[in-house]
Chain A
Amino acid sequence: MIAEQTYLKPKTLDEALNYAREHAGNFSYLAGGTDIMANRFHENETSRCLIDLSAIPELQGFRTDENYLRIGSLMRLDDLKNISAIASEFPALLEAAGAVGSPVIRKTATIGGNLLCENRCIYYNQSQWWREAAGFCLKCGGDLCIATGGKKACFSEVVSDMAPVLISFDAELDLMDTGGNKRIKLEDLYSGDGVKPRNMSQTAIISGILLPLSRDFKAVFKKLRQRQSLEFTSLTTVVSVDEANKVKIALGGVDPKIVVVEGAVGDDKEKLISKCIKGARAVDNDMFTRTYRREMINVFLTNSFRELGI
């Protein structure tokens, strides 16, 4: 007997968390739904219960809290451009948002959803039939990684375009959960384990994303993709510098987690780059080869440093 499908649309966070408790182990939260629904089509996502968060007012809008810009997790990517503080202090965020999916997708997809976008791998983002034919990999219940020819670790890649740029700005998250609320650094969200890529309980909800204001960030965003639209990333790099000359580099698309390297303006850039490349456990699971993507880390970062004048 197949459990009945349910679609729940709570109006408050408490209600959402109650539903989550009730359906523990067999539900998914859904905001814009663009990632979840595509994964459901492939039966990589099979929860019987969907909890739609989009009607919860606490997750919406944005405001300035002390020294933070706090963006509600339901903010659609396409709406970020309407926030003047982003245009003035974090323009790279708009570039990143504009690089996600396609223009239509960006009118549905949310910033919170983008941060939680499931890790991808060309051997995983396939139909159930395909994965059976290939032999189910680690990420879908098997015991070996196909992309690496049999390693016992999963290298599915984090493909959020928003995460690297937010991390480069030292963004934090407000997490609401059944056990209480907490604030974490965004970079701590990502576990590095491709099978379970996020350090977050299933019931937790990102309620807001916090960006520190007035640090005079400058940042350069770059995304490697074959087409100019309709693409997940093959490599996203962001380099930021703040008023204190702190350099923060964040890479997406080349590791199960966002690779973060910090330094200072005066540091040897080659060393920073090689630290990044070393940190990126890219494997051949993308239409671009691993070798090429690693080579492009160097190119992108070198250009980013130059564009930042550091």
Chain B
Amino acid sequence: MKKLSVKVNNVQHHLLVEEHDTLAKVIREKIQLTGTKIGCEQGSCGACTILINGTPVQSCIAPALKYNGCGITTIEGVAQNRRLHPLQTKFVEKGAIQCGYCTPGMLLTALSFLDGNPDPTTHEIKEALSGNLCRCTGYKKIIEAVSEYVKCAGQPVREHETAKEDSRFKMAGYGRPYLDAVKKVKGEAEFADDIKVKNTLHCKFLRSIYPHAKINAIDISRAEDIPGVRLIVTGKELPIPFGVLPISEDETAMAIEKTRYVGEIVAAVAADTEEIAARTCKAIKVDYSPLRPFLNITEALEDVEDDERIHSHGKFNSNIHKQAELRFGDQKDGLSKANHTCRVEFDFQGLNHGFTEPHSATAWWDEDGLTMVSATQVPHYLHRYLSKTLEVPMNRVRVIKPFVGGGFGGKSDPFPHEIIISHISRKLGRPVKVRLSREEVFLTNHGRHPTWLRMEMGVNNDGKFKVLDADIIIDGGAYASFGVVTTYYNGVLLQAPYKIDNLGFRTRRVYTNKPQCGAMRGHGAVNSRFAVETMIDRLAEQMDMDPCELRFRNFLGPNTTTVGQYRITSNGVKACLEKVMEQSKWSRNYRKRPEGSGFGVACGFFISGSALPIHWNEYPQSVVHLKVDLDGRVLITSGASDIGQGSDTMLAIIVAEVLGLSMDYIAIVSADTLLTPIDLGSYSSRVTFMAGNAAKMAAEKLKDNILQAVSTNTNIQVSELSLKDERVLTTDGKIDLSWIEAVEIATRKVGALTTTGSYNSPKLGGDFKGAGAGLSPSYSFGAVIAEVKVDKQTGSVIVKNIWGAHDPGKALNPLAVEGQLEGSWHMGIGQALSEQMKFHEGLLLNGNFLDYKIPTTLDTPDIFSNIVETTDPEGPFGAKECGEGALHPVIPAIANAIYDAVGVRVTSLPVDPEKILKEMKEKALQEMIS
């Protein structure tokens, strides 16, 4: 240990530190300033950026003692005396904050940059921020915030609170920063790893080094005597299987008899420190007998003996996990009769969500049973499976979701680490904490399935799609996760936005000895959407028709039914496409750009939540409670998880809108299974529609209660009363009560008022096996046009512009909706051009943020965002999904633009410049010959 003296945010600290401690560790753990975030521990994401004597430094790779005697600024030191720095204010106002995990690093990097360059160009801003990864925003609003700050520099800055003043009562339809944006921008939002519970032990895992191996013995004898070790547990102690879908519970918290992927947890150590726990893991010796691994789709499809298979359950002789097949019409016949047909094979690499906050959780037991604080998108499923796997009733389990640094589907499942630390905590009677390294996050995965698919489409001379047939195989990795749903979604989500009456598909999901795949933004439909949209481009070319025109001829309209009996209500797809065509000057550009430059188009649609719940019961899909007492403040409690997408703010907007209140009268408690009613969580783009509707119902009930009381008290008909601007009014002015006065009247003799709102999907869909897959009370629609530049010598692709439009129904909070769209388009660019999970004999080669290539600011083009509103008849105020659907069209639009630029069709993702070059050469050769 050595003494370290540093002045942090103008406070002098003298500390004893381990000599090789990093500054990030010292700041977070010793000085307790947890606004400095850890995202990668390799200096490759920027979340840990702090200022040392004004210069930004990545504190996760900074030895603390190097900076002895220095002055340090962390995010906590940026706001002065409750007053935000004007750049923080801009971040808040412009919606530059979603999950808030990258925000501290982003702000400090920007502040230091602006210090040296107070009047930068947009490119200079992008360049300066290019070492700070953000997975939520697509950077657009961050860059706008910085630009706007630059423009306003020198002008007097209004307090954030006063800036809001003129829009206090503008709710649904008006852009508004998240309620928690100020907390996030100050680094005060507590994420799972920021939460300190007294007397906590730390947990680390020993992970399998074989993709498929029998565990003969686990020897902990050399490990358990290491000083500081409290407990070592192995798989046999937690034998109860789990899985997010009750129909496919095929996983245990740790491997028991055999391991099924490299990285699967084999043993867990709880110790006084993380370092001891990590060291102890190395002292545990496991005797394995390697089994034949199945590492790709081809191997998994082979017929093998029962004892060779990855899982013994299942009805196939191979490693097929699930097969789904649906056929409407006769595809063979359709293809033989169509005027133009096209058949293409595609392959897609797997993807990881890349959220910036690694998983972390703390568990403890007390007189209330188990409490679990975890970075989760779905407290309810975690609640259920902790109860199941630990054999403790649900009334003795409480799950709390703190601030969550992004999810994108990757924090939807119950996870082994959550179950294991709960188990250890119960055994030891002490809180246990775990935080995963970035590598472990990649191994935990549950990301997008690697996919192979062959698709055939036919169209007639009149431009009407006649037939679509798809044979799809998805590589699920070692366990099921959401895989059964993914299997269906790949096929069923082909039935819109175009009318195709002759449609069939078969999807097979295989088990392989790799980290499991599950749900990721745009779940299940991203890859098959890519296939359809690029094939439409081919067919349009065959017919010599503009690909937009071909799409227009086939769009399903509003209030229609798809071939699989999805009920389409509001539908803005046509307006979306028109919007991006006009904005991009499509007709002046498509096929008219110089070689190397190109335009491409694609469309898409997505569900607004699944109409059918995972757990078959009659409990509503969302429930929201409201409570108002004499203070007049309306407390919203909801199980919905705000993971950075802004659902807390959305619920508050809805309640305030109904009750005519400003946010001063609204408070929200969400995602705590003890305090909040059950919500099925933040996945499948369900929250705005379902929890939003529940909130609206609860607010309307509260409104009724209050107006009824005022009516009784004043003898004025309820129908004459309205709630507006924190008052209860009649149009003639006879009644003009403040909200507080009205609440006082309504609570007389009865006390605080509480109401419950709930949402359940209406009965929908057809009466055939598989009819339930993809059913949703509403669907979103969208279109994207992309402009790319392809370097003909290197094959590399640069996306120059994205024009995107999305129909989210009514945009309740347009600022948040734009943020979702921009984040989706950005994520799509990553899948199109740079992101992939690459394996070597089952071992993930690029489980880090250097080699898993999330686009930086410099790789992200100008994005033109358009919200094309429709009014959904059943959505809250007409709202529907906006968090996932926008991702679908962007990837094929880029591929189609590449074709427009250089005449090469992309059939595998991510785009491989090498392949583009090769095909360009072949094409040139063909042209020479002909």
A interface residues with partner B (beta carbon < 8 Å): 4-7, 9, 30, 33-34, 37-38, 40-42, 50, 52, 54, 101-105, 107-108, 122-123, 125, 127, 129-130, 132-134, 146, 224, 226-232, 287-289, 291-292, 295-296, 299, 303
Contacts and interface: CB of A to CB of B under 8 A. Distances in A.
B20 A230 contact: no
Contacts of A226: 833-834, 853
Contact of B66 (A5, A40, A52, A224): A52
A193 B277 CA distance: 36
A33 B61 contact: yes
B652 interface: no
A148 B46 CA distance: 33
Contacts of B262: 133
A270 to B, nearest CB: 16
B361 interface: no
A232 B848 CA distance: 13
A50 B19 CA distance: 9
B914 A228 contact: no
Contact of A287 (B20, B793, B838): B838
A121 to B, nearest CB: 11
A103 B129 CA distance: 7
Main secondary structure of the interface of A (DSSP, over half): mixed
B109 interface: yes
A122 B845 contact: yes
B353 to A, nearest CB: 18
Interface string B17-47: 0111010000000000000000001111010
Interface residues of B, number: 60
Main secondary structure of the interface of B (DSSP, over half): loop
B18 A5 contact: yes
Nearest to B795: A292
A107 B62 contact: no
Interface string B180-218: 000000000000000000000000000111100000000
Contacts of B853: 226-227, 287
Given A102-B130, A129-B209, A132-B209, A37 B63 contact: yes
B516 to A, nearest CB: 17
Given A133-B843, A287-B851, A228 B859 contact: yes
Interface stretch (B49-57, B147-155, B235-243, B764-772): B49-57
A250 B741 CA distance: 80
A40 B131 CA distance: 21
A229 B794 contact: no
A117 to B, nearest CB: 13
B840 interface: yes
Given A7-B65, A104-B58, A295-B914, 11 more contacts: A7-B20, A9-B68, A33-B62, A52-B65, A102-B131, A108-B57, A108-B58, A227-B858, A232-B850, A292-B914, A292-B917
Given A50-B20, A101-B131, A226-B834, A38 B109 contact: no
Contacts of A130: 439, 843, 847
Contact of B61 (A9, A41, A127, A299): A41
Contacts of A129: 207, 209, 439
B855 interface: yes
Interface in B824-881: 833-834, 838, 840-841, 843, 845-847, 849-851, 853, 855-859
A38 B133 CA distance: 17
A104 B22 contact: no
Interface of B: 2, 18-20, 22, 41-44, 46, 49, 55-58, 61-63, 65-66, 68, 109, 113, 127-133, 207-210, 262, 437, 439, 793-794, 833-834, 838, 840-841, 843, 845-847, 849-851, 853, 855-859, 913-914, 917
A287 B46 CA distance: 22
Interface centre among B22, B44, B845, B850 (most CB of A within 10 A): B850
7 contacts: A30-B63, A52-B65, A103-B127, A134-B841, A229-B130, A230-B850, A292-B917
A289 B838 CA distance: 13
Contact of A9 (B20, B65, B834, B914): B65
A130 B62 CA distance: 24
A4 to B, nearest CB: 8
Given A52-B65, A228-B858, A289 B914 contact: yes
Interface centre among A41, A105, A289 (most CB of B within 10 A): A41
Contacts of A108: 57-58, 62
Given A104-B57, A108-B62, A232-B850, A37 B130 contact: no
A122 B917 contact: no
A112 to B, nearest CB: 15
A146 B843 CA distance: 12
A241 to B, nearest CB: 22
Contacts of B22: 37
Contact of B856 (A132, A227, A303): A227
A246 B69 CA distance: 49
A295 B796 CA distance: 13
Given A122-B845, A287-B851, A230 B131 contact: yes
Contacts of B68: 9
B75 to A, nearest CB: 15
A122 B855 contact: no
Contact of A105 (B58, B208, B834): B58
Nearest to B2: A7
Given A54-B66, A287-B853, A104 B840 contact: no
A52 B63 contact: yes
Contacts of B845: 122-123
A34 B858 contact: no
A40 B21 CA distance: 11
Contacts of B851: 122, 287
A40 B57 contact: no
B56 A228 contact: no
Contacts of A102: 46, 130-132, 856
Given A37-B22, A52-B66, A287-B846, A299 B794 contact: yes
A227 B49 contact: no
A105 B19 contact: no
B28 to A, nearest CB: 16
Contact of A229 (B208, B793, B833, B857): B857
